[in-house]
Amino acid sequence: MLAMIFDGVSSALRETHVADPVVGAGDLLIDVHACGVCRTDLHVVDHELTSPKIPLIPGHEIVGVVAEAGSGVLDFKPGDRVGVPWLGHTCGHCHYCLQHRENLCDTPGFTGYTINGGYAEKTVADSRYCLHLPSGYGDAEAAPLLCAGVIGYRTLEMAGDARRIGIYGFGAAAHIVAQVARHQGRAVYAFTRPGDTAAQQLALRSGAQWAGSSDEAAPEELDAALIFAPVGALVPVALKALSKGGIVVCGGIHMSDIPTFSYDLLWEERRVCSVANLTRQDGAAFMRLAGELVLEIQVTQYSMSDANRALDDLRAGRLTGAAVLVMPKAFQRQL
Protein backbone atom coordinates (compact mmCIF):
# COMPACT_ATOMS: atom_id res chain seq x y z
CA MET A 1 0.00 0.00 0.00
CA LEU A 2 0.99 3.65 -0.36
CA ALA A 3 1.81 5.57 2.81
CA MET A 4 3.43 8.80 3.92
CA ILE A 5 6.35 8.04 6.26
CA PHE A 6 7.99 10.18 8.94
CA ASP A 7 11.59 9.00 9.45
CA GLY A 8 12.25 10.94 12.64
CA VAL A 9 14.87 13.16 11.00
CA SER A 10 13.34 15.18 8.20
CA SER A 11 10.14 17.20 8.70
CA ALA A 12 9.19 16.20 5.16
CA LEU A 13 7.21 12.98 4.87
CA ARG A 14 8.25 10.41 2.29
CA GLU A 15 5.69 8.70 0.05
CA THR A 16 6.50 5.02 -0.31
CA HIS A 17 5.07 1.53 -0.73
CA VAL A 18 4.91 -0.48 2.49
CA ALA A 19 3.40 -3.85 3.37
CA ASP A 20 -0.30 -3.91 4.17
CA PRO A 21 -0.93 -4.06 7.93
CA VAL A 22 -2.06 -7.37 9.37
CA VAL A 23 -5.23 -7.61 11.44
CA GLY A 24 -4.94 -9.23 14.86
CA ALA A 25 -7.42 -10.37 17.48
CA GLY A 26 -9.73 -7.51 18.41
CA ASP A 27 -8.47 -5.35 15.54
CA LEU A 28 -10.03 -3.80 12.47
CA LEU A 29 -8.33 -3.66 9.09
CA ILE A 30 -9.59 -0.41 7.59
CA ASP A 31 -9.56 0.91 4.05
CA VAL A 32 -8.81 4.58 4.69
CA HIS A 33 -10.93 7.08 2.78
CA ALA A 34 -9.86 10.32 4.49
CA CYS A 35 -7.58 11.49 7.29
CA GLY A 36 -7.57 14.91 8.89
CA VAL A 37 -4.36 16.90 9.20
CA CYS A 38 -4.17 18.01 12.82
CA ARG A 39 -1.79 20.48 14.45
CA THR A 40 -0.60 17.56 16.58
CA ASP A 41 0.71 15.95 13.37
CA LEU A 42 2.67 19.14 12.80
CA HIS A 43 4.08 19.01 16.34
CA VAL A 44 5.25 15.45 15.59
CA VAL A 45 7.03 16.14 12.29
CA ASP A 46 8.49 19.40 13.62
CA HIS A 47 10.04 17.46 16.54
CA GLU A 48 8.05 19.29 19.22
CA LEU A 49 6.60 15.97 20.42
CA THR A 50 9.68 13.91 21.05
CA SER A 51 8.69 10.24 21.48
CA PRO A 52 7.08 9.06 18.24
CA LYS A 53 7.28 5.54 16.87
CA ILE A 54 9.97 5.57 14.15
CA PRO A 55 9.35 5.06 11.28
CA LEU A 56 5.84 6.42 11.65
CA ILE A 57 2.72 6.81 9.53
CA PRO A 58 1.10 9.95 11.01
CA GLY A 59 -2.59 10.80 11.18
CA HIS A 60 -5.24 10.31 13.87
CA GLU A 61 -8.45 11.67 12.35
CA ILE A 62 -9.17 8.59 10.26
CA VAL A 63 -12.36 7.80 8.37
CA GLY A 64 -12.66 4.55 6.46
CA VAL A 65 -14.52 1.32 5.92
CA VAL A 66 -13.88 -1.95 7.75
CA ALA A 67 -12.24 -4.40 5.34
CA GLU A 68 -11.73 -7.19 7.89
CA ALA A 69 -12.56 -7.70 11.55
CA GLY A 70 -10.25 -9.76 13.74
CA SER A 71 -11.45 -12.45 16.10
CA GLY A 72 -13.40 -11.22 19.08
CA VAL A 73 -14.63 -7.98 17.48
CA LEU A 74 -18.22 -7.31 18.54
CA ASP A 75 -19.12 -3.76 17.55
CA PHE A 76 -18.04 -3.60 13.88
CA LYS A 77 -18.33 -5.77 10.79
CA PRO A 78 -16.88 -5.56 7.27
CA GLY A 79 -18.46 -2.73 5.31
CA ASP A 80 -19.11 -0.51 8.34
CA ARG A 81 -17.90 3.07 8.22
CA VAL A 82 -15.56 3.70 11.13
CA GLY A 83 -13.61 6.51 12.75
CA VAL A 84 -10.21 6.16 14.44
CA PRO A 85 -9.24 8.88 16.96
CA TRP A 86 -6.04 9.86 18.79
CA LEU A 87 -6.51 7.52 21.75
CA GLY A 88 -5.61 4.11 20.36
CA HIS A 89 -4.94 2.00 23.45
CA THR A 90 -4.91 2.12 27.26
CA CYS A 91 -3.68 -0.40 29.81
CA GLY A 92 -6.96 -0.71 31.70
CA HIS A 93 -5.32 -1.34 35.08
CA CYS A 94 -3.31 1.72 36.12
CA HIS A 95 -4.57 4.16 38.78
CA TYR A 96 -6.09 6.46 36.15
CA CYS A 97 -7.78 3.77 34.09
CA LEU A 98 -9.37 2.32 37.23
CA GLN A 99 -10.72 5.78 38.07
CA HIS A 100 -12.33 6.04 34.60
CA ARG A 101 -9.72 8.62 33.56
CA GLU A 102 -8.22 6.62 30.70
CA ASN A 103 -7.12 9.81 28.95
CA LEU A 104 -4.39 9.98 31.63
CA CYS A 105 -3.33 6.30 31.33
CA ASP A 106 0.30 5.67 32.33
CA THR A 107 1.04 3.48 29.28
CA PRO A 108 -1.23 4.68 26.46
CA GLY A 109 -1.00 4.19 22.73
CA PHE A 110 -1.72 7.13 20.43
CA THR A 111 -2.77 6.82 16.81
CA GLY A 112 -0.35 8.53 14.45
CA TYR A 113 2.25 8.92 17.21
CA THR A 114 3.07 5.63 18.93
CA ILE A 115 0.78 3.60 16.62
CA ASN A 116 0.78 3.90 12.84
CA GLY A 117 -2.00 6.19 11.67
CA GLY A 118 -4.04 7.19 8.66
CA TYR A 119 -1.72 8.86 6.14
CA ALA A 120 -1.97 5.60 4.21
CA GLU A 121 -4.34 3.55 2.09
CA LYS A 122 -4.96 1.08 4.94
CA THR A 123 -4.55 0.99 8.70
CA VAL A 124 -5.17 -1.36 11.61
CA ALA A 125 -6.80 -0.17 14.83
CA ASP A 126 -8.00 -1.71 18.08
CA SER A 127 -11.77 -1.96 17.60
CA ARG A 128 -12.44 -1.04 21.25
CA TYR A 129 -11.14 2.48 20.62
CA CYS A 130 -12.82 3.05 17.25
CA LEU A 131 -15.95 5.14 16.86
CA HIS A 132 -19.18 4.81 14.94
CA LEU A 133 -19.65 7.96 12.88
CA PRO A 134 -22.87 9.94 12.53
CA SER A 135 -24.62 10.08 9.18
CA GLY A 136 -24.94 13.40 7.42
CA TYR A 137 -21.19 13.94 6.96
CA GLY A 138 -19.05 13.02 3.98
CA ASP A 139 -15.75 11.28 4.69
CA ALA A 140 -13.71 14.49 4.47
CA GLU A 141 -16.17 16.39 6.69
CA ALA A 142 -16.28 13.58 9.26
CA ALA A 143 -12.49 13.39 9.67
CA PRO A 144 -12.04 16.59 11.78
CA LEU A 145 -14.74 15.38 14.17
CA LEU A 146 -12.31 12.73 15.43
CA CYS A 147 -9.87 15.15 17.09
CA ALA A 148 -10.73 18.79 16.45
CA GLY A 149 -14.32 17.97 17.33
CA VAL A 150 -13.79 15.62 20.26
CA ILE A 151 -10.98 17.62 21.88
CA GLY A 152 -12.91 20.85 21.33
CA TYR A 153 -15.91 19.24 23.01
CA ARG A 154 -13.82 18.10 26.00
CA THR A 155 -12.26 21.57 26.26
CA LEU A 156 -15.70 23.18 26.33
CA GLU A 157 -16.93 20.67 28.91
CA MET A 158 -14.03 21.62 31.18
CA ALA A 159 -15.30 25.20 31.14
CA GLY A 160 -18.34 24.01 33.08
CA ASP A 161 -21.46 26.16 32.77
CA ALA A 162 -19.59 29.30 31.66
CA ARG A 163 -21.91 31.46 29.57
CA ARG A 164 -19.46 33.92 28.01
CA ILE A 165 -16.79 31.96 26.12
CA GLY A 166 -13.67 33.41 24.52
CA ILE A 167 -11.94 31.23 21.92
CA TYR A 168 -8.29 32.01 21.14
CA GLY A 169 -7.03 30.57 17.86
CA PHE A 170 -9.81 29.98 15.38
CA GLY A 171 -9.05 26.92 13.29
CA ALA A 172 -10.33 23.36 13.00
CA ALA A 173 -11.29 22.79 16.64
CA ALA A 174 -12.60 26.29 17.28
CA HIS A 175 -15.00 26.42 14.33
CA ILE A 176 -16.60 23.18 15.56
CA VAL A 177 -16.75 24.01 19.27
CA ALA A 178 -18.19 27.46 18.55
CA GLN A 179 -21.20 25.83 16.91
CA VAL A 180 -21.67 23.53 19.90
CA ALA A 181 -21.39 26.43 22.34
CA ARG A 182 -23.95 28.50 20.45
CA HIS A 183 -26.30 25.50 20.35
CA GLN A 184 -26.00 25.38 24.15
CA GLY A 185 -26.99 29.04 24.39
CA ARG A 186 -23.56 30.42 25.24
CA ALA A 187 -22.11 33.68 23.91
CA VAL A 188 -18.95 33.14 21.84
CA TYR A 189 -16.16 35.68 21.26
CA ALA A 190 -13.40 34.73 18.80
CA PHE A 191 -9.81 35.94 18.95
CA THR A 192 -7.50 35.34 15.98
CA ARG A 193 -3.99 36.28 15.03
CA PRO A 194 -3.91 39.99 14.07
CA GLY A 195 -5.07 40.60 10.53
CA ASP A 196 -6.55 37.13 9.99
CA THR A 197 -9.83 38.35 8.56
CA ALA A 198 -10.60 34.96 6.96
CA ALA A 199 -10.58 33.26 10.39
CA GLN A 200 -12.67 36.08 11.82
CA GLN A 201 -15.27 35.64 9.09
CA LEU A 202 -15.30 31.88 9.73
CA ALA A 203 -15.86 32.61 13.42
CA LEU A 204 -18.87 34.79 12.68
CA ARG A 205 -20.31 32.15 10.33
CA SER A 206 -19.77 29.56 13.08
CA GLY A 207 -21.87 31.46 15.59
CA ALA A 208 -19.51 33.92 17.28
CA GLN A 209 -21.21 37.19 18.12
CA TRP A 210 -17.88 39.04 17.93
CA ALA A 211 -14.56 38.31 16.23
CA GLY A 212 -11.34 40.27 16.42
CA SER A 213 -7.59 40.06 16.99
CA SER A 214 -6.02 38.52 20.07
CA ASP A 215 -4.41 41.87 20.87
CA GLU A 216 -7.83 43.49 21.21
CA ALA A 217 -9.73 43.69 24.48
CA ALA A 218 -12.74 41.42 24.85
CA PRO A 219 -16.07 43.22 24.39
CA GLU A 220 -17.11 42.08 27.87
CA GLU A 221 -15.66 39.98 30.68
CA LEU A 222 -15.39 36.28 29.89
CA ASP A 223 -16.43 33.41 32.11
CA ALA A 224 -14.05 31.05 30.31
CA ALA A 225 -11.33 31.21 27.68
CA LEU A 226 -10.50 28.24 25.46
CA ILE A 227 -7.03 28.41 23.91
CA PHE A 228 -6.44 26.31 20.78
CA ALA A 229 -3.48 28.26 19.38
CA PRO A 230 -0.16 26.74 20.60
CA VAL A 231 0.96 30.13 21.90
CA GLY A 232 1.83 30.35 25.59
CA ALA A 233 1.73 34.16 25.52
CA LEU A 234 -2.05 33.92 25.15
CA VAL A 235 -2.48 32.55 28.68
CA PRO A 236 -1.92 35.88 30.50
CA VAL A 237 -3.90 37.64 27.76
CA ALA A 238 -6.83 35.33 28.38
CA LEU A 239 -6.52 35.61 32.17
CA LYS A 240 -6.75 39.38 31.85
CA ALA A 241 -10.06 38.98 29.98
CA LEU A 242 -11.65 36.73 32.63
CA SER A 243 -14.23 37.65 35.22
CA LYS A 244 -13.73 36.57 38.84
CA GLY A 245 -13.77 32.78 39.19
CA GLY A 246 -13.20 32.29 35.46
CA ILE A 247 -11.15 29.54 33.84
CA VAL A 248 -8.59 29.33 31.03
CA VAL A 249 -8.58 25.91 29.35
CA CYS A 250 -5.59 25.09 27.13
CA GLY A 251 -6.83 22.66 24.51
CA GLY A 252 -3.62 21.67 22.72
CA ILE A 253 -1.04 18.95 23.33
CA HIS A 254 1.89 21.35 22.90
CA MET A 255 2.30 25.06 23.62
CA SER A 256 5.20 27.49 23.61
CA ASP A 257 6.42 28.66 27.00
CA ILE A 258 4.00 30.69 29.10
CA PRO A 259 5.59 34.01 30.08
CA THR A 260 5.62 35.21 33.66
CA PHE A 261 2.66 37.31 34.73
CA SER A 262 1.61 39.20 37.81
CA TYR A 263 -0.37 37.34 40.46
CA ASP A 264 -3.27 39.77 40.21
CA LEU A 265 -4.26 38.13 36.90
CA LEU A 266 -4.79 34.84 38.75
CA TRP A 267 -6.22 36.37 41.92
CA GLU A 268 -9.95 36.13 42.67
CA GLU A 269 -10.06 32.40 42.01
CA ARG A 270 -9.24 32.44 38.33
CA ARG A 271 -7.86 29.10 37.11
CA VAL A 272 -5.67 27.70 34.34
CA CYS A 273 -5.87 24.05 33.27
CA SER A 274 -5.05 21.81 30.30
CA VAL A 275 -6.86 19.14 28.34
CA ALA A 276 -5.07 15.82 27.92
CA ASN A 277 -6.24 13.46 25.17
CA LEU A 278 -9.79 12.05 25.22
CA THR A 279 -11.76 9.17 26.64
CA ARG A 280 -13.92 6.76 24.67
CA GLN A 281 -16.91 8.27 26.48
CA ASP A 282 -15.94 11.70 25.12
CA GLY A 283 -15.84 10.27 21.61
CA ALA A 284 -19.19 8.51 21.82
CA ALA A 285 -20.90 11.52 23.43
CA PHE A 286 -19.58 13.95 20.86
CA MET A 287 -20.53 11.71 17.93
CA ARG A 288 -24.09 11.56 19.25
CA LEU A 289 -24.13 15.35 19.53
CA ALA A 290 -22.67 15.78 16.04
CA GLY A 291 -25.42 13.53 14.70
CA GLU A 292 -28.09 15.68 16.33
CA LEU A 293 -26.68 19.06 15.26
CA VAL A 294 -25.24 18.32 11.78
CA LEU A 295 -22.35 20.75 12.17
CA GLU A 296 -20.98 22.82 9.31
CA ILE A 297 -17.42 21.58 8.81
CA GLN A 298 -15.14 23.68 6.59
CA VAL A 299 -12.41 21.59 5.00
CA THR A 300 -9.66 22.00 2.43
CA GLN A 301 -8.98 18.70 0.70
CA TYR A 302 -5.57 17.43 -0.40
CA SER A 303 -4.53 14.19 -2.02
CA MET A 304 -2.46 11.92 0.23
CA SER A 305 0.67 12.63 -1.80
CA ASP A 306 0.21 16.33 -0.98
CA ALA A 307 0.48 15.74 2.78
CA ASN A 308 3.63 17.87 3.02
CA ARG A 309 1.85 20.78 1.34
CA ALA A 310 -1.08 20.42 3.74
CA LEU A 311 1.28 20.43 6.74
CA ASP A 312 3.13 23.45 5.37
CA ASP A 313 -0.14 25.33 4.82
CA LEU A 314 -1.06 24.61 8.42
CA ARG A 315 2.40 25.62 9.63
CA ALA A 316 2.22 28.93 7.74
CA GLY A 317 -1.33 29.77 8.81
CA ARG A 318 -2.71 29.58 5.27
CA LEU A 319 -5.65 27.36 6.22
CA THR A 320 -9.14 28.38 7.25
CA GLY A 321 -10.96 25.53 8.96
CA ALA A 322 -9.54 21.99 8.68
CA ALA A 323 -7.18 20.25 6.25
CA VAL A 324 -8.05 16.70 5.19
CA LEU A 325 -6.11 14.16 3.14
CA VAL A 326 -8.27 12.14 0.76
CA MET A 327 -6.84 8.79 -0.26
CA PRO A 328 -5.94 8.23 -3.93
CA LYS A 329 -9.01 6.22 -5.03
CA ALA A 330 -11.43 8.49 -3.21
CA PHE A 331 -9.67 11.61 -4.54
CA GLN A 332 -9.87 10.32 -8.11
CA ARG A 333 -13.62 9.71 -7.74
CA GLN A 334 -14.07 13.41 -7.04
CA LEU A 335 -12.19 14.60 -10.13
Average pLDDT rounded to a whole number, residues 248-272 = 97
For the stretch 166-210, pLDDT in tens is: 999 999 999 999 999 999 999 999 999 999 999 999 999 999 999
Q: CA of 133: how far to CAs of 128, 146, 301, 306, in Å?
A: 14, 9, 19, 26
* Residue 59, φ and ψ in degrees, nearest 5: 110, 120
Looking at domain 2-146+277-334, its CATH class is alpha beta
- What is the DSSP annotation of 151-204? HHHHHHHHTTT-SEEEEES-SHHHHHHHHHHHHTT-EEEEEESTT-HHHHHHHH
Decide: 70 and 133 in contact? Cβ < 8 Å: no
95 with 105: CB under 8 angstroms?
no
Q: pLDDT by residue (tens digit) across 110-145?
A: 999 999 999 999 999 999 999 999 999 999 999 999
207-255 pLDDT tens trace: 999 999 999 999 999 999 999 999 999 999 999 999 999 999 999 999 9
Task: State the pLDDT at residue 197.
Answer: 95
pLDDT of residue 299: 97
Torsion of CA 23, 28, 34, 38, to 10 degrees: -90
pLDDT digits (tens, 9 = 90+) for 142-156: 999 999 999 999 999
Q: Where are the domains of the chain?
A: 2-146+277-334, 149-274
Displacement of CA 311 from its chain's centroid (Å):
14
Instruction: Specify the CATH superfamily of domain 149-274.
Output: NAD(P)-binding Rossmann-like Domain (3.40.50.720)
